[in-house]
Structure 1
Amino acid sequence: MSEVTTVSAPDADEFTLLHRVQAPEGEGREILDAATREVIGRAPVRTITDLDEAVTRAKAAQPAWEERGHEERSALLLKAADAIDAHAEELARLLSREQGKPLNGPNARFEVGGCAAWLRASATTPLQPEVVVDDGETHAELHYRAVGVVGAIGPWNWPLMITIWQIGPALRMGNTVVVKPSENTPLSVLALLSVLNEVLPADVLTGVPGDGAVGARLASHPDVGKVMFTGSTATGRKIVEGSAGNFARLTLELGGNDAGIVLPGADPRAIAQDLFWGAFINTGQTCAALKRLYVHDSIYEDVVSALRDVAAEMPMGNGLDEKNVLGPLQNQQQFDIVSRLVEEARANGGRIVTGGAPAPELGELFYPVTLVADVTDGVAIVDEEQFGPVLPIVRYTDVEDAITSANRLDVGLGASVWGDRDEARKVAFRLQAGTVWINSHGGVHPMAPFGGVKGSGYGLEFGVEGLKSVAVPLVING
């Protein structure tokens, strides 16, 4: 970790987007720069009444949007992706300030670019009717049509990308969408929606920033046919309860505590860079990041050493500095969780290999990359999702024990296995996770379905399955 202090000047267009979406002077709620803790702007604060009105408008706009058909909707979404590209730098800069992630590395510019790419994938992925019976007597086809109004409730860690994951397929399938952004990162999401609405018809896509009560109303609203939520397992349970009254369909991408298993015979130096980014992308604030690493005793110290060396080369600091690739924790609550888990690990005999204490010289919410060796299952830093720049490294001697450890928690978003590909695939089929990566961790593709098991939620996103998830099936028989 190193401190860099030269920060580029704000982009004028960033302020143009901010002016579009922020509350009038004297109104709304202050939003702070994650790195400097200075006020960026003021987010509008909407009420349940505002939410109800937005849903009413979305419901009224939905039939005409669906009647445009796939071809016209796809063409408009492609234009919307072009609009993201045209505003890419100002979106990235606002995102960097509000969320904290640096412009460079797999961070803010990467996220904005991914928004455009994923929107294009949603627009162009074919979804043809399926002939399910054709036996000479019966001909049956499976079609998919719009649900109606989709409620999209997003997180603060990848606020733009995950919003696109929710709204892109929903719009493509003929739904209208009401978005409730995280209270921590509303401005960047509202800016993204403003850019998209340069192209889309009125009331097809609406953002309603507000508190948890607004999100709860969206999940339980009688005119919302589908709810998509990315966030904590605890909040996911509340959304399930809230949706019982309207039987809304759900896609829930919830908390994770992804395990990685390094097999004996793996090359520590060859895998260290990918291990590092699997764990520390977005400074560890990623649902499907590597959060507990099981390493065979024969190469344990070599893996620890290789990760330490990679960590030492990664500059952390203000995200607007072009040299940095790691930023602060986004909010005080998450900073406190990380601090507590590291201190508990230290008290339980964990070996702090690097990091291990806040970095106030960088700013209020900076916590350096922290590797904690010589910890075991049952310690909080292993059993709880850190969601920050911390990785516990657990020693094992029998692969069977590592598999048992990986599966022991009530989460299952992702997992990874590192080593010989054939041996890794054998282990992968035994892990309880929605996705298992081989010799990598956390990479997603717009055509590869993604979702969790156990306490990590249910439902699939991306590709053809993602389109189906925001639609209702219709069987034409005859």
Structure 2
Amino acid sequence: MSFNSVDELLAAIQPESGGREIFDPATGELVGRAPIATPEDLQGAIDRAEAAQVGWAKRSHAERSEFLNKAADAIEAAAEPLAELLSREQGKPLNGPNARFEVGGCAAWLRANAAFPIEPEVIVDDENVRSEMHYDPIGVVGAISPWNWPMLISIWQWGPSLRMGNTVVSKPASSTTLSVLALAAVMNEALPEDLLIVVPANSKVGAELSRSPKIGKIMFTGSTEVGKIIARDAADTVARLTLELGGNDAGIVLPGTDVSKLAGDIFWGAFINTGQTCAALKRLYVHEDQYEEVVQAVLEVAKGTPMGVGLDENNLLGPLQNKSQYEVVERLVNAAREGGANIRLGGDPAADQPGYFYPTTIVTDIDNDNPLVAEEQFGPVLPIVKYSDLDQAIEWANGIDEGLGSSVWSNDPEAAVEVAKRLQAGTTWINQHGAIDPRIPFGGAKSSGYGLEFGDAGLKAVAQPHVITITK
């Protein structure tokens, strides 16, 4: 069937009666009702996915890629209602790097995963032996996705898993269940039955996903604390793991950088998705010689970027997705204020405004050990820290246990690369931050997780390496 409206999407995924109500974080209005999965529902989904995987694994890469492209076609055909539902449930605006961008990324990511070549790799081939590395399906992949990019991160998990011959049982975040159910409903119009099953379970029921002996691989994006629990749970079954966990990304502006050309990129590196991105710029270190110049340049961009209800075509920033995250941001900004920092913009949410809106906030003259710098805020707040010595800035950037992304900003690419080599992170960008690409592997360092996603490395991460050696 075709999906031409949000009502048609909701009709396909809502229970006939009951369910859990989900509200718009921008307005407080009811968006819809999500089904409530039981332990029996989860087990049934795993059993169905296990049965379907046998036939799916027998298909060639070309056949599986064709299905992924058909699923991408289906997403593009339903792009506008998907984006509207996402905006209403998650809160992000339609325009800018937000809801329409995310839905478009879902289709693009599927097409990219369909296109990557995967061939056996010849390890040794001499007069005595030929040894090849093949990449076989693992089986059933358990995919657990977060609420900040609910559709796109789900695709990051689903696309490579399906391409490599696995089936997927997916557990979405409770506050963005409808978006993920709708995306799967659209894709399943193009996919064979039971390859992709979304189970709208609570955390207690969902925890059984990482304990099931029928799950061969767990992919999780979320907090470090939950990632540790999943790793412990999966140990008993020796399930493979890809964990993309919390980040408190640092950026360093090198002395003499022409910030006039980079202020917009710095701003969106920090404030994309209203700051609710694991690999967003969370703390910026600027040399004292141009500290105020950088602050003013970022402030100028921030003041001109509208925040409001996502369905308003003019807005580019939205609310925080849930109350608990709002309270985290509020606590950390208050800690900065109490520590003597200067709140140059924002920091004073309107008491009578509906929704979880926290104003765009720029904080200066802040100590590196202030909680707003030391902890991940995951919201529309950027602390800008002054440094006088580059070695000190690098030490500060590396001084916490997270290591997802980082960035260096400079007119001198060679100098920037030398600094990048000293940063402890899975990815370091030069003159940008958080710019992901389906061709380029992505993963964390330290407590930001392990395992790679994207590119052929991401495909291999959801496959079983299989060495075949032939004696001549």
Pairwise same-fold verdict (TM > 0.5):
yes
Choose which of 150, 155, 165 in structure 2 pairs with 1:159.
150
Write the deviation string for residues 202-221 of structure 1: whole angstroms up to 9, x where unpaired. 11110001111122100111
Choose which of 451, 463, 472 in structure 1 pairs with 2:464.
472
| Unpaired runs of at least 5, structure 1 | 1-10
TM-score (norm 1): 0.97
Choose which of 3, 15, 23 in structure 2 pairs with 1:32.
23
Given that 1:130 and 1:143 are in contact with CA atoms closer than 8 Å, whether structure 2 keeps it comes out as yes
Q: Which residue of 2 aligns with 1:5?
A: none
Write the deviation string for residues 404-459 of structure 1: whole angstroms up to 9, x where unpaired. 00001000000000012111100000000000000000000101000001010000
Choose which of 393, 410, 417 in structure 2 pairs with 1:425.
417
Q: Which residue of 2 aligns with 1:375?
A: 366
Matched, 1:404 2:395: yes
Tell me: CA distance 1:12–1:146, structure 2 relative to 1, closer, same or farther (3 Å): closer
Matched, 1:123 2:114: yes
Given that 2:439 and 2:456 are in contact with CA atoms closer than 8 Å, whether structure 1 keeps it comes out as yes
Alpha-carbon separation, structure 1, partners of 2:360 and 2:205: 35
Residue identity matched to 2:128: E
Alpha-carbon separation, structure 1, partners of 2:383 and 2:205: 37
Alpha-carbon separation, structure 1, partners of 2:150 and 2:220: 12
Alpha-carbon separation, structure 1, partners of 2:252 and 2:205: 41
Runs of 4+ in structure 1 off by over 6 angstroms are none
Residue identity matched to 1:338: V
Write the deviation string for residues 99-129 of structure 1: whole angstroms up to 9, x where unpaired. 0000000000000000000000111100111
Secondary structure class of the residue paired with 1:377: coil
Alignment of 1:266-345 (within 5 A): 266-345=257-336
Matched, 1:448 2:433: no
Choose which of 10, 13, 29 in structure 2 pairs with 1:21.
13
Alignment of 1:46-445 (within 5 A): 46-360=37-351, 362-419=353-410, 420-445=412-437
Alpha-carbon separation, structure 1, partners of 2:6 and 2:355: 24
Deviation at 1:135, TM superposition (A): 1.6
Write the deviation string for residues 163-219 of structure 1: whole angstroms up to 9, x where unpaired. 000000000000000000000100010000000100111111100011111221001
Alpha-carbon separation, structure 1, partners of 2:256 and 2:350: 36
Given that 1:48 and 1:213 are in contact with CA atoms closer than 8 Å, whether structure 2 keeps it comes out as no
Deviation at 1:361, TM superposition (A): 5.5
Secondary structure class of the residue paired with 1:185: helix
Alpha-carbon separation, structure 1, partners of 2:298 and 2:206: 40
Given that 1:272 and 1:307 are in contact with CA atoms closer than 8 Å, whether structure 2 keeps it comes out as yes
Deviation at 1:39, TM superposition (A): 0.7
Secondary structure class of the residue paired with 2:305: coil
| Unpaired runs of at least 5, structure 2 | none
Secondary structure class of the residue paired with 2:256: coil
Deviation at 1:269, TM superposition (A): 1.7
Write the deviation string for residues 323-360 of structure 1: whole angstroms up to 9, x where unpaired. 00000000000000000100110000010010011134
Determine what percentage of the aligned residue pairs are the same residue. 61
Residue identity matched to 2:238: F
Secondary structure class of the residue paired with 2:347: coil
Write the deviation string for residues 35-66 of structure 1: whole angstroms up to 9, x where unpaired. 11111111001011110110011001101011
Residue identity matched to 2:66: A
Deviation at 1:464, TM superposition (A): 0.4
Secondary structure class of the residue paired with 1:139: strand
Alpha-carbon separation, structure 2, partners of 1:333 and 1:361: 18
Secondary structure class of the residue paired with 1:235: helix
Secondary structure class of the residue paired with 1:415: strand
Given that 2:4 and 2:78 are in contact with CA atoms closer than 8 Å, whether structure 1 keeps it comes out as no
Residue identity matched to 1:443: A
Alpha-carbon separation, structure 2, partners of 1:229 and 1:43: 21
Alpha-carbon separation, structure 1, partners of 2:259 and 2:29: 41
Residue identity matched to 2:187: L
Secondary structure class of the residue paired with 2:424: coil
Deviation at 1:12, TM superposition (A): 6.2
Secondary structure class of the residue paired with 1:326: coil
Deviation at 1:34, TM superposition (A): 1.4
Given that 2:284 and 2:384 are in contact with CA atoms closer than 8 Å, whether structure 1 keeps it comes out as yes
Alpha-carbon separation, structure 1, partners of 2:6 and 2:115: 30
Residue identity matched to 1:473: P
Given that 1:331 and 1:365 are in contact with CA atoms closer than 8 Å, whether structure 2 keeps it comes out as yes
Secondary structure class of the residue paired with 1:119: helix
Given that 1:262 and 1:293 are in contact with CA atoms closer than 8 Å, whether structure 2 keeps it comes out as yes
Deviation at 1:365, TM superposition (A): 0.6
Deviation at 1:364, TM superposition (A): 2.6
Given that 1:317 and 1:362 are in contact with CA atoms closer than 8 Å, whether structure 2 keeps it comes out as no
Residue identity matched to 1:22: Q
Residue identity matched to 2:216: G
TM-score (norm 2): 0.98
Write the deviation string for residues 241-260 of structure 1: whole angstroms up to 9, x where unpaired. 10011100000000000000
